[in-house]
Structure 1
Amino acid sequence: MNTSTAVTPLTTADAEALVMAARQAAEVAGVAVSTTVLDAGGHLLAFRRDDRAALISGETSTRKAYTALQVNAPTAHLVDAVQPGGLFHTLPTALERPLLFIAGGVPVQRGGRPIGAIDVGGGTPEQNHSFATTAVEALA
């Protein structure tokens, strides 16, 4: 007998709500950001780059969201583990698609299961993590 419960996947409406919540948090702080939302398969559901956000923040945002999804943990929690001598030092280059361990990527879960990930880039690592976390909490 299968006792697992189906979990509703991350929808486009969810992704847009995540982007809006992250953007509002960044706007309050006066920071121009790029925000990426991926579904559980790592596919892009939503992306937004503010007019003044650094161009590179779009690329890094997508890679950090992918990283958070793959490791099912906020990228901020693993920064030290991938430094030289760290437990996961080789992890950033272990896969065909490089992972990026800079704060800002946060997995999105429903019912304790990963359904996607969000990343915010453009502020300091601490700001990016805070904006992404705020968005995930607003979705809950």
Structure 2
Amino acid sequence: MSTTTAVAPLTTRNANAPVAAAHHAAQAAGVSVSVLDAGGHLLAFRRDDGAVLISGETSTRKAYTALQLNAPTADLVEAVQPGGLFHTLPTALDRPLLFIAGGVPVHRDGRLIGAIGVGGGAPEQDHGLASAAVEAFA
């Protein structure tokens, strides 16, 4: 008999709440928000009017990086610097990682269920918006 408890996955239905929360918090700051499920698949995306085109790609890569390493990208910036633990990791994989603040993993009942990435603002701003979006799941 199994004693593991099932954890509800992140779905497209509940992925829209953090996108809306990040957009509201941004107050038209010109950012993009990406939500990935536990498998790294894009569930929700929003690009604000005025956001630079690359922000869509950076938001998705930040989310993917946070998901793969189960850590906010803001906490990983130093690890990819010369001499850091992950110095060669950004170029070691087929799918590129992005070690800039703005990606945050999403947990439910202590389990990783996805990640949110915000791109287009200053790194600290993106991290704050992503963190606010994660709170929309609570």
The interval holding the TM-score normalised by the smaller chain is over 0.9
| Residue 51, structure 1, aligned to residue 49, structure 2 | yes
| Residue 107, structure 1, aligned to residue 105, structure 2 | yes
Deviations 1:40-94 (A, max 9, x none): 1011100110110010000111111111110010000000011111111011112
Task: Determine the C-alpha separation between the residues in 2 that align with 1:21 and 1:107.
Answer: 16
Deviations 1:19-56 (A, max 9, x none): 000111111xx511100001110111001101100100
Task: Determine the C-alpha separation between the residues in 2 that align with 1:19 and 1:10.
Answer: 13
Q: CA RMSD in A?
A: 0.9
Match for residue 9 of structure 1?
A: 9
Task: Determine the C-alpha separation between the residues in 1 that align with 2:99 and 2:3.
Answer: 35
Task: Determine the C-alpha separation between the residues in 2 that align with 1:83 and 1:4.
Answer: 39
1:77 partner letter: D
Task: Determine the C-alpha separation between the residues in 2 that align with 1:101 and 1:109.
Answer: 20
Match for residue 18 of structure 1?
A: 18
Secondary structure in structure 1 of the residue aligned to 2:136: helix
Task: Determine the C-alpha separation between the residues in 1 that align with 2:61 and 2:136.
Answer: 23
What is the number of residues matched between the two proteins? 138
Give ranges in structure 1 of 5+ residues lacking alignment: none
Give ranges in structure 2 of 5+ residues lacking alignment: none
Secondary structure in structure 2 of the residue aligned to 1:115: strand
Q: 1:92 aligns with which of 80, 90, 110?
A: 90
Secondary structure in structure 2 of the residue aligned to 1:139: coil
Q: What TM-score results when the alignment is normalised by the length of structure 2?
A: 0.96
1:99 partner letter: L
Task: Determine the C-alpha separation between the residues in 2 that align with 1:93 and 1:78.
Answer: 15
Task: Determine the C-alpha separation between the residues in 1 that align with 2:56 and 2:109.
Answer: 29
Secondary structure in structure 1 of the residue aligned to 2:135: helix
Per the TM alignment, residue 99 of structure 1 is displaced from its structure 2 partner at its CA by 0.6
Task: Determine the C-alpha separation between the residues in 1 that align with 2:54 and 2:82.
Answer: 25
Secondary structure in structure 2 of the residue aligned to 1:87: coil
Q: What TM-score results when the alignment is normalised by the length of structure 1?
A: 0.95
Match for residue 35 of structure 2?
A: 37
